[in-house]
């Protein structure tokens, strides 16, 4: 099987509501879908979704990076995934979302050629993935009403955005905890705190039984994370501090996190995500697969990754519930909150309309 064409396409999907976190606000999702065609007639589908304030990429840079990769990809077998990643890394450092688009399409092709859904191709046995639902920053009473409706919709786990105003965070956790009794609560500070602020907030969250706190400190403060990890009553998860397998290795060596949030758009796709998980698993660290603003194309790929590895015990793959991507994606997976039911079609199981 040889790659004969790489065809990227920009699409725009409006959000139901603007989504606000401590780093910024977003009201529509621009993303890049890519088709990789082969000489055997199989077509792989991938996605690169740029979130500039996290990865430094834009939709234009994703399109430009894919153009840079294309001459190298033509004629290669998609099974040569290590070689493809090494070559992409030689052409451009970072650019994880653009690399993820190529990587996902290659894994889609490999699993299609093997006649297996991707999670089975990667070694998994069950295509059911339980996800959480995220509450963006807002007035605490509004956040609490959202928590109640999330639980009513069937979710058992809620991720609460925090980190822009400690007073609002304190009010929000009190109201949310009362509005959603029994739900497992996680908090994501998106780099919003200093070490002293984090220590005080972690103490408050512990009172409410919060199960983990994600990225309390700026991404570069690995020493601070290590300090928090050794003093915190709540497990600490690295997100923006862990883009690549190299970051995972540093986090492990410095004891800087209890958990790692793998995102395909940060690390460059499934190949790197598997490497991060292996490093973490060897160190006794569980992983989550998270998302940013991906459509069901990359969400399907992320869910296949979750379903392929026992050490990936958490799935924060809820972006697709914030918008309606049915104008571009005709089918991807079944979903009855809180469970994604992966397709048993070969590959990632996604069909596009565009
Ligand atoms: Mg996060």
pLDDT band for position 157 (cuts 50, 70, 90):
very high
Taking each helix axis from N to C end, the angle separating 270-282 and 96-114, rounded to the nearest 10 degrees, works out to 90
What is the 55 CA–ligand 1 centroid distance (Å)? 12
**Torsion (CA) 71, 55, 100, 47 in degrees, nearest 10:** -100
Which has the higher per-residue pLDDT, 22 or 186? 186
User: Is the per-residue pLDDT at 26 higher than 80?
Assistant: no
Residues recognised as catalytic: 161, 188, 214, 239, 263
What is the 229 CA–ligand 1 centroid distance (Å)? 17
User: Is the per-residue pLDDT at 25 higher than 90?
Assistant: no
pLDDT band for position 66 (cuts 50, 70, 90):
very high
336: which 2 tokens? 């009855």
User: Is the per-residue pLDDT at 80 higher than 90?
Assistant: yes
The pLDDT value recorded for residue 61 is 98
Beta-carbon neighbours within 5 Å of ion ligand 1: 188, 214, 239
Report the distance separating Cα 256 and Cα 92, nearest Å. Answer: 28
Q: Is the peptide bond prior to 338 cis by the omega test (within 30 degrees of 0)?
A: yes
What is the 39 CA–ligand 1 centroid distance (Å)? 39
User: Is the per-residue pLDDT at 309 higher than 80?
Assistant: yes
Bridge partners, 129 (sequence order)? 340
Note the maximum CA span of the chain: 59
The string of DSSP letters for 1-15 reads --EEEEEEEEEEEEE
- The residue count of the chain comes to 354
The SS3 assignment for 17 reads: strand
Report the distance separating Cα 123 and Cα 310, nearest Å. Answer: 10
pLDDT band for position 29 (cuts 50, 70, 90):
confident
What is the 328 CA–ligand 1 centroid distance (Å)? 26
Average pLDDT (16-33) is: 82
pLDDT band for position 21 (cuts 50, 70, 90):
confident
Report the distance separating Cα 74 and Cα 82, nearest Å. Answer: 16
Q: How far apart are the first and last CA of the chain?
A: 24
Q: What pLDDT digit, counting tens, does each position of 329-341 carry?
A: 999 999 999 999 9
Half-sphere exposure of 120 (CA within 13 A, CB side): 17
User: Is the per-residue pLDDT at 213 higher than 90?
Assistant: yes
Average pLDDT (148-164) is: 98
Number of other residues whose CB lies within 10 A of the CB of residue 345:
17
The pLDDT value recorded for residue 22 is 75
User: Is the per-residue pLDDT at 68 higher than 80?
Assistant: yes
74: which 2 tokens? 């033509």
What is the 290 CA–ligand 1 centroid distance (Å)? 7
The pLDDT value recorded for residue 187 is 98
What is the 183 CA–ligand 1 centroid distance (Å)? 19
The pLDDT value recorded for residue 19 is 74
Q: What pLDDT digit, counting tens, does each position of 243-279 carry?
A: 999 999 999 999 999 999 999 999 999 999 999 999 9
Report the distance separating Cα 73 and Cα 273, nearest Å. Answer: 21
Contact (Cβ atoms closer than 8 angstroms) between residue 223 and residue 203: no
Residues of the chain with pLDDT > 70, as a percent, come to 100
What is the 83 CA–ligand 1 centroid distance (Å)? 30
What is the 338 CA–ligand 1 centroid distance (Å)? 19
Q: What pLDDT digit, counting tens, does each position of 216-226 carry?
A: 999 999 999 99
Contact (Cβ atoms closer than 8 angstroms) between residue 107 and residue 301: yes
Q: What pLDDT digit, counting tens, does each position of 165-189 carry?
A: 999 999 999 999 999 999 999 999 9
User: Is the per-residue pLDDT at 311 higher than 90?
Assistant: yes
Contact (Cβ atoms closer than 8 angstroms) between residue 211 and residue 185: yes
pLDDT band for position 14 (cuts 50, 70, 90):
confident
Residues 6+ apart with CB under 8 A from 272: 85, 96, 99, 103, 244, 245
Report the distance separating Cα 272 and Cα 243, nearest Å. Answer: 9
Report the distance separating Cα 108 and Cα 99, nearest Å. Answer: 14
Mean pLDDT of the chain: 97
What is the 214 CA–ligand 1 centroid distance (Å)? 6
pTM: 0.96
Contact (Cβ atoms closer than 8 angstroms) between residue 342 and residue 129: yes
Q: What pLDDT digit, counting tens, does each position of 291-308 carry?
A: 999 999 999 999 999 999
Report the distance separating Cα 75 and Cα 71, nearest Å. Answer: 9
Contact (Cβ atoms closer than 8 angstroms) between residue 275 and residue 247: no
């Amino acid at each position: 099987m040889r790659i004969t064409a790489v065809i990227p396409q920009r699409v725009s999907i409006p959000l139901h509501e603007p989504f606000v976190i401590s780093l910024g606000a977003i009201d529509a999702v621009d993303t890049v879908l890519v088709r990789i065609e082969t000489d055997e007639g199989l077509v792989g589908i991938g996605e690169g979704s740029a979130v500039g304030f996290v990865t430094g990429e834009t939709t234009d840079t994703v399109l430009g990076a894919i153009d840079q990769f294309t001459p190298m990809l033509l004629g290669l077998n998609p099974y040569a995934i290590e070689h493809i990643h090494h070559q992409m890394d030689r052409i451009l450092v970072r650019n994880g979302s653009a690399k993820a688009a190529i990587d996902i399409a290659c894994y889609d092709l490999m699993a299609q050629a093997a006649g297996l859904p991707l999670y089975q191709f990667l070694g998994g046995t069950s295509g059911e993935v339980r996800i959480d639902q995220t509450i963006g920053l807002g007035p605490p009473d509004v956040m609490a009403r959202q928590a109640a409706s999330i639980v009513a919709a069937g979710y058992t786990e809620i991720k609460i955005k925090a980190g822009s105003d400690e007073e609002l965070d304190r009010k929000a956790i009190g109201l949310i905890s009362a509005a959603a009794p029994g739900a497992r609560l996680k908090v994501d500070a998106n780099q919003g705190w200093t070490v002293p602020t984090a220590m005080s907030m972690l103490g408050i969250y512990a009172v409410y039984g919060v199960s983990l706190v994600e990225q309390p400190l700026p991404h570069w403060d690995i020493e601070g994370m290590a300090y928090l990890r050794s003093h915190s009553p709540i497990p600490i998860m690295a997100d923006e501090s862990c883009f690549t397998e190299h970051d995972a290795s540093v986090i492990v060596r410095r004891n800087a996190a209890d958990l790692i949030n793998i995102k395909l758009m940060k690390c460059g796709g499934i190949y790197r995500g598997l490497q991060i998980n292996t490093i973490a698993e060897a160190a006794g660290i569980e992983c989550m697969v998270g998302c940013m603003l991906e459509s069901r194309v990359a969400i399907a790929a992320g869910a296949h990754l979750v379903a392929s590895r026992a050490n990936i015990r958490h799935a924060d793959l809820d972006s697709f519930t914030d918008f309606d991507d049915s104008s571009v994606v005709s089918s991807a997976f079944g979903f009855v909150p809180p469970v994604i039911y992966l397709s048993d079609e070969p590959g990632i199981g996604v069909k596009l309309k565009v």
